[in-house]
Amino acid sequence: MSDSRLQNVVCCLGQPVVGNPTQFMMERAFAAAGLDWRYLTLEVSPARLGDGVRGIRALGFRGANVMIPHKMAVIEYLDSLTEIAQLIGAVTTVERKGDLLVGDNTEGKAFLAGLRPIVEPKERRCVVLGAGGTARAIAVELGLAGAAEITVVNRSAERGGDLASLLEQRVHVASHCVAWDGDYAVPPETDIIVHATSLGASDPEARVPVVDGSLESRMVVADVIPNPTNSRLLKTAAERGCRTVDGLEMLVHRGSIDFRAWTEVGPDPHVLRESIEEYLEI
């Protein structure tokens, strides 16, 4: 591969990587846009992460996606961060700008892109289930979008409290943490519920511990898990008359945001969605 071709490469840094729907989606989108680009999936251990980022620099790659467990550790190897990545404290996307590698976090932006056609988060009361990296990104973006209040529900009170404090002190949105002990009863004044943990990944029968009867038809329920698309939580919510947002929407919108950042070209959203559905055999 020539040097010019190397400059039209992006990659995914993860450990370990067992199948990557984003690679399948991006390769399809590059082809549909008439771009001679490649997306590589690279396994990098935590001990060699610095070498991995130096390789991106040396080879002239246009950017990268960053997966667990590298989202926070990668920061020390980058030249700068966007404001949102600084606030969240984690990087999901790296973009080359001149000779610099700039870290961004596009998970929350992607979530909002899928949510807004259904409900605008401004002045809404939100419940976020979980306090990990994805939950953190979504909660911060909900706060910046003008949410009236965010309740963080998490098994670890310390981690949940840390996120609530971040939202209060730096995002300036009313927030508090509730311990997730047993089935959580969603308060009736809630407008938006976001399940942002890994519970249910690849298991359509997995149950998110929420009191089914507390889901009211006025609520919007979102699940970040892309597979299964129609999780048990979303099925229950739909049965109770709630509007729902599936995790595939977030994955597709994140792909679109990253694609545009790297190539300065807007991808075909239908290609992104159809390729993911094909990969997941939906």
Residues designated as active site: 71
Measured on CA atoms in the order 117, 122, 125, 127, is the torsion positive or negative? Answer: positive
Q: Tokens 């943990």 — which residue?
A: 197
Laid out side by side, the sheet with 243-245 consists of 174-179, 149-154, 125-129, 192-195, 220-223, 243-245
Q: Maximum Cα–Cα distance for the chain, whole Å?
A: 60
Question: Could you give the CA distance from residue 67 to residue 254 in angstroms, rounded to a whole number?
Answer: 13
C-alpha R_g of the chain: 19
- What is the token pair recorded at 246? 């599936």
d(CA 185, CA 188): 9
